[in-house]
Amino acid sequence: MYAGKELRRARHARGFTVRKLAEIAGTSAAAISQIENGARGVSVERYSSLLSKTRTRIVSLPTLANTAVEVAESIASFLAENDNQAAYREFISFSDSLRKQSPGIRVAITLVAPETTGSALYDAAIAALVEHWLSEASSPLPDWLENADLFLPELQHLREGIYGPTPEPEEVSAAFLRHNVLFPEVAMESV
């Protein structure tokens, strides 16, 4: 299923319809749709060929860290189950993971824009977290961080539960303030 999601993302990023990709790849729209929906398997060679039509390629990274895309999907799943604590823990875990990665791996696992989590607050917080850890390493920032949907109209506090003190702006990193997310810098590491 993950390969199908990535193919769909690559197709959308290129602005192709299923029909257009099928035409370019010399296959049927039904075949592309089945691959994207996980109803049909695909060999690595065929998958690589399809991705190349969208000017995307398969890359192997020396890490087991989750990408921003995977983390957003996981948070969306937790939020759909009303498990806010699990969503929050996933967010903190992603912060820990980014902190531990080399600058190049940080860039690689955050390069592709994640889909929405269903929560504007979490979407903005993920963008702020990526921006924080990439900026901390003086790494280039992906363009998706400038998406207007990732900037909240007013300050909102991301916290594990409904209670807890609201941090002062001086306790929040510049990246989080830029996205209007109140999240204390000290909370970016799990205990």
In tens digits, the chain (191 residues) has pLDDT values of 478 888 998 899 899 999 999 999 999 999 999 999 988 888 889 999 999 999 988 888 899 999 999 999 999 999 999 999 999 999 999 999 999 999 999 999 999 899 999 999 999 999 999 999 999 999 999 999 999 999 999 999 999 877 778 899 999 999 999 999 999 999 886 65
CA-based radius of gyration for the chain: 18
The whole-number pLDDT of residue 165 equals 84
- DSSP H/E element including 182: strand 181-182
pLDDT, position 9: 86
What single-letter amino acid sits at 148?
A: A
Q: What is the pLDDT of residue 154?
A: 97
State the burial class of residue 11 (Cβ atoms within 10 Å of its Cβ: 0-12, 13-18, 19+): buried
pLDDT for 175 equals: 98
Element (H, E) at 157: strand 156-157
pLDDT at residue number 190: 60
C-alpha 94/C-alpha 81 separation (Å) is 20
Q: Are 21 and 11 in contact (CB under 8 A)?
A: yes
User: What pLDDT is stored for residue 189 in this prediction?
Assistant: 67
Q: What is the pLDDT of residue 106?
A: 96
DSSP class of 184: B
pTM here is 0.83
Q: What does residue 65 show for φ and ψ, rounded to 5 degrees?
A: -65, 145
Per-residue buried b or exposed e for 80-118, using 16+ beta carbons within 10 Å of the residue's own CB? eeeebebbbebbbebbebbeebeeebbbbbbbbbbeebe
